[in-house]
Amino acid sequence: MFSGCMVALITPFHDGEVDFQTLDELVEFHLKSGTDAIVPVGTTGESPTLDYEEHKQVIERVVHAVEGRIPVIAGTGSNSTAEAIELTAHAKKVGADASLQVCPYYNKPTQEGFYQHFKAIAEEVDIPLVLYNIPSRCGAGMTPDTIVRLSEIENIVAIKEATGSLDQASEIASRCDLTILSGDDSLTLPIASVGGKGVISVVANIVPTDVKAMTDLILEGDLVSARKWHNKLFVLAKSLLSMATNPIPIKAAMAMLEMASEEMRLPMVPLEDGKRNELRKILTAYGLLA
């Protein structure tokens, strides 16, 4: 369940509302493309600006559209432990296969606070949990010591590593048996070199077959061949995470490719014109635009 090409799915909007028809179409696109798992309502899915009911509805709609064909790893994290528990319980109830749990943000817990937060969720809801360590978005992150402690809890099974540190990934790999997933598309292969098993990917929203080609080779142990895909994907992947705050660039790209509306909710705003031209050139160079 926790390996290969997993897409961090966008949440499409139309006139301020969740566009469930396009959401269904995107799920079907990934099923046809061979994506290994779908991860709705994470950062890329604009979870901070979905209200509580919308968050639940998106999870339920994706589970329904997938119909058990591939795993659904629902984003149900929060900076409130009680809220994370409620969302995770709902995800399990509607049939999600696992939960992605981002580190609590803004309130900046201590390492003991991180441990108690995730421990409480794991004990309250019997569903596999994927930890999500991304200090650049959360204001604080977990140390390897905390992650190793959490790995001893039975249903905490994997970690999405978005610290940008190969030392951190290496230490986790050497000290526990959590499955390590890249949280940065440009680092999927480097993290694989120290034990990573795949990626929860932003760029897979538009090129899932290419990301899957790379992760399939990684899982086969053929890192030399995987490097060819890494090199092909690198500029596109890096641009989508550095040109502006995610998911601004990926939604702009999907609009250019007529896959989904660029619409976001404030405080997220569309990509500025100068960068839009740069993105169009990158998509053209990749072969996605004429």
**Active-site residue flag, 197:** no
Beta-carbon neighbour count of residue 259 at 10 Å?
Answer: 18
Catalytically annotated residue among 56, 92, 115, 160: 160
Distance between CA atoms of 64 and 56, rounded to whole angstroms?
12
Q: How many CA atoms, within 13 angstroms, populate the side-chain half-sphere of residue 266?
A: 0
**Active-site residue flag, 115:** no
Structure tokens at 10: 């966008």
User: What's at 89, amino acid-wise?
Assistant: A
Enter the DSSP assignment of 165: -
DSSP annotation string for 86-150: HHHHHHHHHT-SEEEEEPP-SS---HHHHHHHHHHHHHHS-S-EEEEE-HHHHS----HHHHHHH
**CA distances, 19 to each of 146, 212, 223, 246 (Å):** 39, 26, 39, 19
Q: Cβ(102)–Cβ(75) under 8 Å?
A: yes
DSSP annotation string for 43-104: TTTTGGGS-HHHHHHHHHHHHHHHTTSS-BEEE---SSHHHHHHHHHHHHHHT-SEEEEEPP
Catalytically annotated residue among 105, 115, 132, 286: 132
Strand 73-75 and strand 37-39: the pairing is unpaired
Residues making up the chain, counted from first to last? 290
Burial class (CB in 10 A: 0-12, 13-18, 19+), 199: buried
| Active-site amino acid positions | 132, 160
